[in-house]
């Protein structure tokens, strides 16, 4: 029995999320498991680094599965992509040590929240970005984001239905920057609570619009009360960009994460 690791990207627009559902509905996990089963000639269960919600995308998702099928890595790569829908692609396949776990061995993950910030609603890119028509001050948003760095209780930024045992997470880095008419929020942390990045984005948007001062993020964090944190930003702006692992596992980090200055010492 071999354990294989995959690098996956997908457009989450038409999915109910990553996780396979017991009721009817299209999921990323379900589509990938069907594709693997066709190549392997046996059923499989795949485990990912981080489950994404409905409408959320991934450029650097990592997952693993076990198989007794004998295929070359190139054969797996071409076979999987031939059997996947157009909105999912596998970018690489690696043999992994038997004990490798895509979720539990991850050191850090990077999410990006993309905002189209202009007066008129977008037609192109509307499924991969949120739209905010009020002008956003990215400098003030970055100042507010700094209060969230480090290890904290992020209860104020978790969804009510979050099932994580502990609300404590360590945020290694938050970068907010403007690129033309887009504002990008990149967050690197050792783990994320349900809706954590979307709730962070909601707080930073309120600061960027001038509806709150840049110390508000600190007060929301200290309050540990989700009802004080404002709205949850729309799902389509969110994308899982990268996952970092110990070097011994040989898991590549997408180039997009590194060229944006978000490689971290862990």
- Spatial distance between the Cα atoms of 8 and 93, rounded to a whole number of angstroms: 9
Query: What pTM was estimated for this model as a whole?
Result: 0.94
Q: How many CB atoms lie within 10 A of CB 191?
A: 18
- Per-residue pLDDT for 262 more than 90? no
Beta carbons of 207 and 148 less than 8 angstroms apart? no
CATH code that applies to domain 108-240: 3.30.70.660
Average pLDDT over every residue of 36-58: 96
Q: pLDDT digits over 146-177, tens only?
A: 999 999 999 999 988 888 899 999 999 999 99
Is the model more confident about 219 or about 25?
219
Instruction: Supply the pLDDT for residue 257.
Output: 66
Beta carbons of 242 and 110 less than 8 angstroms apart? yes
Average pLDDT over the chain reads 93
What whole-number percentage of the chain has pLDDT above 70? 95
* Domain span(s) for CATH 3.30.70.580 in the chain: 2-105
Strands 88-96 and 2-10: what pairing? Answer: antiparallel
User: Where residue 259 falls among pLDDT bands split at 50, 70, 90?
Assistant: very low
* Domain span(s) for CATH 3.30.70.660 in the chain: 108-240
- Per-residue pLDDT for 91 more than 80? yes
Residue 53 appears among annotated catalytic residues: yes
Please name the residues in contact with 153: beta carbons below 8 A apart, sequence gap of 6 or more: 167, 168, 221, 224
User: 53, 87, 137, 213: which one is catalytic?
Assistant: 53
Rg (CA), the chain: 19
Q: pLDDT digits over 168-209, tens only?
A: 999 999 999 999 999 999 999 999 999 999 999 999 999 999
Q: pLDDT digits over 4-20, tens only?
A: 999 999 999 999 999 99
Report whether CATH 1.10.3720.10 matches the domain 2-105: no
Q: pLDDT digits over 71-88, tens only?
A: 999 999 999 999 999 999
Is the model more confident about 133 or about 230?
133
Q: Would you give the end-to-end CA distance of the chain in angstroms?
A: 31
């Amino acid at each position: 029995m071999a354990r294989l690791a995959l690098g996956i990207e997908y457009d989450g627009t038409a999915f109910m999320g990553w996780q396979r559902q017991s009721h009817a509905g299209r999921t990323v996990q379900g589509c990938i498991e069907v594709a693997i089963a066709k190549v392997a000639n046996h059923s499989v269960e795949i485990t990912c680094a981080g489950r994404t919600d409905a409408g959320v995308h991934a450029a650097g998702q990592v997952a693993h599965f076990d198989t007794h099928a004998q295929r070359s890595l190139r054969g797996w790569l071409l076979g999987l992509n031939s059997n996947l829908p157009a909105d999912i692609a596998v970018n690489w396949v690696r043999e992994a040590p038997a004990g490798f776990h895509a979720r539990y061995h991850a050191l850090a993950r990077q999410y990006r929240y993309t905002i189209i910030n202009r007066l008129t609603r977008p037609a192109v890119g509307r499924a991969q970005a949120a739209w905010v028509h009020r002008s956003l001050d990215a400098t003030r948003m970055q100042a507010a984001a700094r209060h969230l760095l480090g290890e904290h209780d992020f209860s104020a930024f978790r969804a009510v239905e979050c099932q994580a045992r502990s609300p404590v997470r360590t945020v290694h880095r938050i970068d907010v920057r403007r690129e033309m008419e887009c504002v990008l929020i990149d967050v690197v942390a050792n783990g994320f609570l349900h809706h954590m990045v979307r709730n962070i984005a909601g707080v930073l948007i309120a600061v960027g619009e001038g509806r709150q001062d840049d110390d508000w993020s600190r007060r929301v964090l200290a309050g540990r009360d989700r009802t004080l944190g404002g709205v949850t930003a729309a799902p389509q702006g969110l994308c899982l960009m990268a996952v970092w692992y110990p070097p011994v596992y040989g898991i590549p980090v997408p180039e997009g994460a590194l060229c944006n200055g978000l490689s971290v010492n862990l």
